[in-house]
Every structure is written in structure tokens, then in C-alpha cells.
Structure 1
Amino acid sequence: MTTVVIVDDHSIFRSGLRASLDSSVEVLGEAADVDSAIDAVTELKPEVVLLDVHLPGGQGGGGAEVIRRSLPHLSGTTFLALSVSDSAEDVVGVIRAGARGYITKGSSADDVNTAIATVAGGDAVFSPRLAGFVLDAFGAAAGEQAATDDELDRLSAREREVMRLIARGYSYKEVATELFISIKTVETHVSAVLRKLQLSSRHELTAWALERRLL
């Protein structure tokens, strides 16, 4: 069972979305604006937040603001943007904020349920029509790839393994199990990775890895 919170300012859409979710998904709550979304997400701590990009309230930052303000209080919650918009500004904004996926509201019920399972499992997901754009928006040009290679060269082979798993949403315990090392060793590697890449959180690490197509 995957727990979710639905965030959208249209009650009819929230109701329709709730009715479209299959039996493997449990809706813990709903919210219609930035502030109530932050309250609901941080209190209920769902596995996945289905998040509209354009929301009233807060400081005008919409879905991206919800992600930025909620993440420091969460562990194990993944954000999936679900929006009518497929503009570059919207997609880039929420992905940089920390969303693991972005699908359009034209997606079928099956697509939405599959996307929830995908991001809950630690992978990124995008609507087919957005996939090419996302690769273009976050892809690296030749010079950027060289810079990425230089950054990766700072990491040991083991740190790279840990980096990719953490960026995909694995917990420290899951990384330890996957790599047959202790949780303490995972913590040490993560600290080293963040320090060497000059990042401050695992969510920044995910955005960093997405931009460089490392996931």
C-alpha cells in the first residue's frame, strides 16, 4: 500500500483523481493551497505527494514552494508533479525543488497509478511528451559533461555507488543492504559526497544527479 496526499486547488479534480487511484494507493489527505499543503504533508508524511504546480497562497511559489518548505521536515516522502502545464519554467522549477517526476493531467488513470508506484520505488518518471524536453532541459552539453566528469572524479568508486542510490531515493538502510555495508559507513560516504560536491542535502543531490543524467 502506497500512501499519498493530493494537492490541487480544484476540488472536482481532487475527487476525480482520488476515484482513479487503484486499491494499492491510500489517500491520507488533501490540500488546496500552499500553506495547507505544507501542513498536510509534514503532518501526514505520505510516501508520495501528488502535487499541482500552480497553487494559491504561500509566497507565490506554487508547487515548488511546497516542496522546498516541506522537505526539511520529511524523510522518505517523494513529490510527483501532476499539472496541465508542460512549460519549461514549470518543469524545471519543480524538478530543481526536488520533485521526482512530472506528468500531465491528460495522463490516463493507469499512467498515474504507474507513476505513483515508480516514484515510490525510487525512480524518476515523466510523461512521454515531456521526456525529450526534460532530457534537453537537464542534459549536459559537451563542456558541462566535462565539468561533471571532473566532479565525479572527486568521488571514490564506492562514493559514486552510494551517491546514485541516495539520489534515487534509497534510505540509508536500503543502501547498506544493497552494498553490504553498515549504515554508519553509508552515513560517512554520504557526508563525503555532499562535502565534495558542495551540496547541503540529499534532495540537492537528487537534483544534481538528474541534471547530469546520472540516474
Structure 2
Amino acid sequence: MSETPGDGRLRVVVVDDHALVRSGVRSELEAHAPDLRIVGEAADVESAVAVVHETLPDVVLLDVHLPGGRGGGGIDVITGCRDLSARFLALSVSDSSEDVVGVIRAGARGYVTKAITPTELADAVRRVAGGDAVFSPRLAGFVLDAFGTAAKDIATTDDELDRLSAREQEVMRLIARGYSYKEVASELFISVKTVETHVSAVLRKLQLSSRHELTRWAAVRRLI
């Protein structure tokens, strides 16, 4: 049963695959931000989506790399909650531009690293809840660079997609969404062997080495 809002505090869900991190975030926010209320926790993609739907938080503090889902980590949580009004603030040890841009393009409102102080984190939660975009100082540049060259990115993506046949593009999108070879074969009415051939061609043409890289490539380009 969903908890019912009513005490005026901002409702927060903490998603991280490390119990110590979740416990630490909870204790720090409870100690420094009485206006925030932790209403749920989760350690993987599936449980995170379930908890967010159950508790209907204002803000989800979301680690970028999580087990489960279709291989996209925190991105899978965001896409699994698109029907809700919750806002997402990435809280991660990673400060790579690929992670930052990927999760922002998926729909997160901000991205801060775990070096942030409890007071700064509480303020970031409040600002995201209020509709602001919040980033750790160095990370904001990644987002500005990425979105400032959006037209160039689109042209580059188009060029990359032009390397793939129509069938290869269909296979690419399904594989990037986490479908198994058997599921892709069933969806497209082709054999598993044919799927394997298409996947090999896609990885070769896009110069990628694994399904995980393909998922991240497609997510950054908003192709899934």
C-alpha cells in the first residue's frame, strides 16, 4: 500500500546497491534535513521501480550503476517511472561524462557525486524538488558541452545509423532494451542465428565490443 503524503516534508527514496551507502544517506539527511523524509530504499532496478511506484516520492536519489533491469542501470529506473511525477537526482561515485550525460538525457534533473556534504545534498534535493537542475561544479560542463552540441550529435548519430540496415537498426534497439536473442527472434520473426549475425554486424559497424556498450551508446543517443 502506498504511503499517504501529508506532513509537509519532501518525500525521498534512496536507490543504491550498497546498504551502507543507503544507511549513511538516510542518517545524514535525517540529521541535517528535518524537512526531508526517507520513504523508501532499493538496491536494484526492479525493486527501485516498484518502490517509487509504491511510495510516490518527490525526489529519487539514484545511483547510476545498479544491478538488474535491461542493462542500463539508473537509466532503467528512470524509464520505468516515466508515468510518475517523481524527480530524479543522480548520486554517484562516478564523474565520467558518459554517465552524467546519459542519465540526464534519460530524464534526471541533476547529478552530484558522493563527495558532496550532507548539507549540500539536502539542498540539492530541495532544489530538484522545486524544479531546478543541480550539478556538482565540474559536472555541469559535461552537460553544457553535450547539449550545446546537440545538432552535431544528431548529425553524428544519423551518420552512425546510416551504417546499419533497417533490420540491423531494429535488432539494435531491441538488444539495447535488454531483449535476449530468443526474444528478438520471436519479436521480428527471424531465427536466433540470424539475430546473432545482425548483432555481430551492429557491434562491428558501431565499433562497440559488448551488449553493455551498445545499451549505453543507444541510451545516450535516446534511441531506446
Shorter-chain TM-score range? 0.5 to 0.7
Tell me if 1:31 matches 2:42. yes
Which has the larger Rg? 2
User: Of residues 29, 35, 58 in structure 2, which corresponds to 1:47?
Assistant: 58
What is the RMSD computed on CA atoms of the aligned residues?
A: 1.8
CA distance in 2, matches of 1:26, 1:70: 20
Of residues 57, 66, 69 in structure 1, which corresponds to 2:68? 57
- Of 24, 27, 31, which residue of structure 2 is paired with 1:19? 27
Distance in 1 between residues matched to 2:148 and 2:112, nearest whole Å: 19
1:99 pairs, out of 105, 108, 111, with: 108
Q: Which runs of 5+ in 1 are unaligned?
A: 145-215
Residues 78 and 108 in structure 2, CA contact (< 8 A), matched pair in contact too: yes
Q: Deviations over 1:153-210 (max 9, x none)?
A: xxxxxxxxxxxxxxxxxxxxxxxxxxxxxxxxxxxxxxxxxxxxxxxxxxxxxxxxxx
Asked if the contact 2:17/2:44 (under 8 Å) is kept, the reply is yes
Offset, 1:135: 1.1
Distance 2:130 2:149 in 1: 26
| 1:89 has 2:88 as partner | no
Deviation at 1:137, TM superposition (A): 1.8
TM-aligned CA deviation for residue 117 of structure 1: 0.5
User: TM-score scaled to structure 2, two decimals?
Assistant: 0.61
**How many residues get paired?**
143
Contact 2:100 2:142 in 1 (8 A): no
After superposition, the C-alpha distances for 1:67-113 in whole angstroms (9 at most, x for unaligned) are: 011112x1x21000000111121111111110000000111111100
> Is this contact kept in 1: 2:104–2:110, CA < 8 A?
yes
Tell me the CA shift for residue 20 of structure 1.
1.0
Query: Counterparts in 2 of 1:57-136, with a 5 A limit?
Result: 57-72=68-83, 74=84, 76-136=85-145
